[in-house]
Amino acid sequence: MFILLGYIVVFFSVIGAYIFMGGALGALYQPFELLLIGGAAFGAYLASSSGQSIKMMFSAIPAVLRRNPYGKELYMQLMALLYVLLNKARRDGLMSVESDIEDPQTSPIFAEYPSVLNDPVLVEFISDYMRLIISGNMSSFEIETLMDQEIETHLHERNIPAMALRAVADGLPAFGIVAAVLGVIKALAAVDQPPAILADLISKAMVGTFLGIWAAYGFVAPLAASMERRSITSVKVLECIKVTLLASMNGYPPQLAVEFGRKVLYSHLRPSFMELEDHVKQVRSSARRG
């Protein structure tokens, strides 16, 4: 939502200042220069992309305009879910959670935490590593190494649209210069015209430079930065799961294991120690009543 607000501020700050300086809006309306800059940037993006990366871009842009799902509510549900799974495994044995992780969509435990269940990446990450823990054939060091590699791959994949937009933002000022150069060439070809006509042609040529820089730093680069922040946030939730499961593998009780996971979170999203403890107590009481 902030990105839309930022776009509005950028637009009205630049255009408003131009109008108050006495500029005419009609001079900025150069559809062919927009076509040149936008078309060249889009063509360069297509040339440097694959079909999969284009699909990721079309899904990443709408996601930026929606509320970030990785908030405090999700973290509370996630840590409660991990506590329940680890507590059940500690109390009844690791095999007691096998049915839950084999089919999370029908698991009564996962069903209690819809924010987690609706995120296939989180569900798969929890299920896969709980499955490896149950197998008992891998040490905590081996599982940690595997987790790190998967998290790194996940971050790289999530950053593909952002990196592509960064490249487009870097190229837009150059395409603006291309438009300006072509405009100057057109003006020089009309050197025999009156000064007023030459000045009009040169001013239109300069609009290309303006449009390229404005689009790059006012719109495309902020969109790429917003995507990068989303990617980092999605990795942080995986790190929370990783630390919690590894703490459990190293012998810590479930309540302490989720505390390890809590400490990984960003301070503005991290529930306090008392909030998490009260939440775990509520989960424990519900489990006893159940």
Is residue 22 in a domain? no
Q: Tell me the average pLDDT across 239-265.
A: 90
Non-local (6+) Cβ contacts of 136 within 8 A are: 94
Give domain status of residue 19, yes or no.
no
Q: What is the pTM of this model?
A: 0.82
2 within a domain of the structure (yes/no) = no
Mean of all residue pLDDT scores within the chain: 87
Task: From 71, 119, 69, select the one nearest 271 (Cα to Cα).
Answer: 71
- Please report whether residue 4 resides in a domain: no
**251 Rama sector, left if φ>0, alpha if ψ -120 to 50, beta otherwise:** left
* Per-residue pLDDT at 211 exceeds 60: yes
The answer to the question of residue 217 being in a domain is yes
Q: What is the pLDDT of residues 39-77, one digit of tens each?
A: 999 999 999 888 888 898 988 888 888 888 888 888 888
The whole-angstrom separation of Cα 228 and Cα 234 is 10
Answer for the pair 41, 171: CB distance below 8 angstroms, yes or no: yes
Domain total of the chain: 1
Residues 6+ apart with CB under 8 A from 90: 248, 253, 254
Answer yes or no: is 18 within a domain.
Answer: no
Burial of 265 (0-12, 13-18, 19+ CB in 10 A): buried
Q: How far apart are CA 267 and CA 78, in angstroms?
A: 17
- Residue 132 and residue 136: Cα distance in Å, rounded? 7
In whole angstroms, what is the distance from residue 220 CA to residue 194 CA?
39
List the domain range (segments joined by +) for residue 147. 31-290
- The half-sphere exposure of 94 on its side-chain side, counting CA atoms within 13 A, is 12
Q: How confident is the model at residue 31 (pLDDT cuts 50, 70, 90)?
A: confident
42-47's contacts with Cβ under 8 Å and 24+ in sequence apart are 44/167, 44/168, 44/171, 45/164, 45/167, 45/168
Q: What is the mean pLDDT of residues 113-132?
A: 91
pLDDT at 18: 87
Q: Tell me the per-residue pLDDT of 232-248, one tens digit each, with 9 for 90 and over.
A: 888 999 999 999 999 99
Residue 251 lies in a domain: yes
Residue 209 lies inside a defined structural domain of this protein: yes
pLDDT of residue 96: 86
